[in-house]
Amino acid sequence: MTVRRALPLLAATALLLTGCAGQSPPPRYLPGGPQVPPAGAVLDYQLGGAYDPPNGVEIVVRDRAAASIDDLYSVCYVNGFQTQPGELDVWPDDLLLRDDDGEPVIDPDWPDEVILDTRKADEIAKIVGPWIRDCASDGFDAVEFDNLDTYTRTDGALSRDDALDLATLLVDTAHDVGLAAGQKNAAEDASLLHSRAGFDFAVVEECAAYEECAAYTEVYGENVLAIEYTDNLPRPWDEVCADPETPASVVLRDRDLVTPDDPGYVLETCG
């Protein structure tokens, strides 16, 4: 999973000016290929556990181990740049990023996730590729790839280009099996991830809280799925909904994304 980080205002402005000038948002349907999420549709974000979504929900995001929902646009979550908790054994030792002492580099914000060595993009893609194909065979419509910005947490060991190379391979695999590909967070790289890696839409956490929604909508137009969290809501929810910069498909969730049988469960949408 991804920890949100604020994008400095000046850097975000510069990126929007340099990366998005003259660029048109992607079409509602990809020519001859996958369908992107329906613009403005009601979203539910279920990474903490699958459950029957409330009435009115049209888009559901679930972990790749969960089932899709036939009647809803279903997005499959894949962590393509770090190990998932409990899945370290899936990865060969030589694909784990290691420090100068030969120890695996652990994400400082997620101590149960080890960073993958994205300089070995081809080898990583051989492992992640079957997961993507499973998402397609399980009936999902799209896949979101998390931790695209892992390179920023490696003290220079990995680069943006390393991440883009791997992202391109994963997006190509998704498109090959009929899935739209979603960029997860990484506002500062949105323009490159769209134009170079080929992402079709974005799944973003706390863009209202960190005032970076425009970094995504300038690139993807209406094709942005947004999640805000109750413990970091910048202002009342109705004001977030009324803000013209807030993506139309936005949901308010509890931080742990628990299921409705948990007393901490929160799910609110706009409208």
What would the 3-class secondary structure string for 87-145 be? CHHHCCHHHECECCCCCECECCCCCCCEEECHHHHHHHHHHHHHHHHHHHHCCCCEEEE
Which residue range forms the structural domain that includes residue 119?
A: 9-21+42-269
Under a CB-based contact definition with an 8 Å cutoff, are residues 113 and 83 in contact?
yes
C-alpha to C-alpha distance for 213 and 226, rounded to whole angstroms: 9
Examine residue 117 and state whether it is found in any structural domain, yes or no: yes
Provide the pLDDT for residue 10.
Answer: 34
Structure confidence by residue, pLDDT tens digits, 182-241: 999 999 999 999 999 999 999 999 999 999 999 999 999 999 999 999 999 999 999 999
Confidence of residue 32 (pLDDT cuts 50, 70, 90): low
pLDDT tens-digit readout, 145-196: 999 999 999 999 999 999 999 999 999 999 999 999 999 999 999 999 999 9
End-to-end CA gap in the chain:
28
Is residue 147 domain-resident? yes
Residue 45, judged by CB atoms within 10 A of its CB (0-12, 13-18, 19+), counts as: buried
34 found inside a domain:
no
- The answer as to whether 191 is a domain residue is yes
Residue 4, in any domain of the structure: no
Buried b (16+ CB within 10 A) or exposed e, 120-146: bbeebbeebbebbeebbeeebbbbbbb
Domain holding 132: CATH number? 3.20.20.70
Structural domains of the chain, count:
1
| Residue 199 lies inside a defined structural domain of this protein | yes
Angle, CA 192 vertex, CA 201 and CA 136 arms, to 5° = 40
* 3-class DSSP state of 217: helix
Which candidate, 259, 268, 206, places its Cα nearest to that of 233?
Answer: 206
251 touches 226 (CB < 8 A): yes
Q: Is residue 149 part of a domain?
A: yes
3 assigned to some structural domain: no
